[in-house]
Amino acid sequence: MFSLVYMMKDVKRASDTFDAIAEHFDKTRNHPWEEVVEFLEECEDTLLDMGCGNGRHLLEALERGLEVYGIDASIELLHICKKKLDDKAELVRADVKSLPFECGSFDNIIYIATIHHLKQDRVDSLKEARKVLKEGGKILVSSWARELDRWDLEDDEQDLIVPWHREDGEIIDRFYHLYHLDELSEDVRKSGLKVIEAFHSKGNNYVKAEKVR
């Protein structure tokens, strides 16, 4: 289960990172984000979670009666997710830049705190999301916000490495591209999606969009 023949180098790096921190990550990610819950309240029928992690948002979607699908590059996080969901969701190990679904497969997509781990081809991943979204379907995309003043970066810097301190003392580096809100909105538009709303909340930038002709 969860076998994957090929992942692009960029996604393989992220996969290795989250495989290394999966157990500790799961302990620190117990609750769905309020902004995602509000989006799920509007959703019906099918939902794809791109970068489903430990399944916290899939669990919320299941409680709301949605038919749920989750993908992640990390096999360790998928094993954790599977235990929680008890075969109530379709889980697939996949690359967000090459989704293994037919065009127009899903009514809704959430792409939460995942796109910022990609070093390149972020618009390509959004184009993949658009491809598998049904016409009229909605997507919610989020990333860490560059607008915060907590980052020790030069004004024009947006990429950084954030260390994860595991319980055993090992430090695992995580890559982040810190989006400005207008930049995230523009990448969503470049993918062919129509931006409905863009907003900042609790250190994250969000863009809600729709697939139109």
Q: pLDDT exceeding 70 applies to what percent of the chain? A: 97
* pLDDT tens readout for residues 20-52: 999 999 999 999 999 999 999 999 999 999 999
User: Residue 172: which H helix or E strand, with range?
Assistant: strand 171-177
What's the mean pLDDT in 111-131?
97
> How many Cα neighbours within 13 Å face the side chain of 6?
5
At residue 5 the predicted structure's pLDDT band, cuts being 50, 70 and 90, is very low
pLDDT for 6: 62
Say which residue the tokens 């049904």 belong to: 134
4, pLDDT greater than 70: no
**By the 8 A CB rule, do 159 and 176 touch?**
yes
Q: Between 80 and 11, whose confidence is greater?
A: 80
Give the CATH class of 28-147+158-210: alpha beta
pLDDT for 114: 98
pLDDT for 94: 94
- Name residues whose C-beta falls within 8 Å of residue 87's C-beta, 6 or more positions apart in sequence: none
199, pLDDT greater than 80: yes
* pLDDT tens readout for residues 60-108: 999 999 999 999 999 999 999 999 998 899 999 999 999 999 999 999 9
What's the mean pLDDT in 157-177?
95
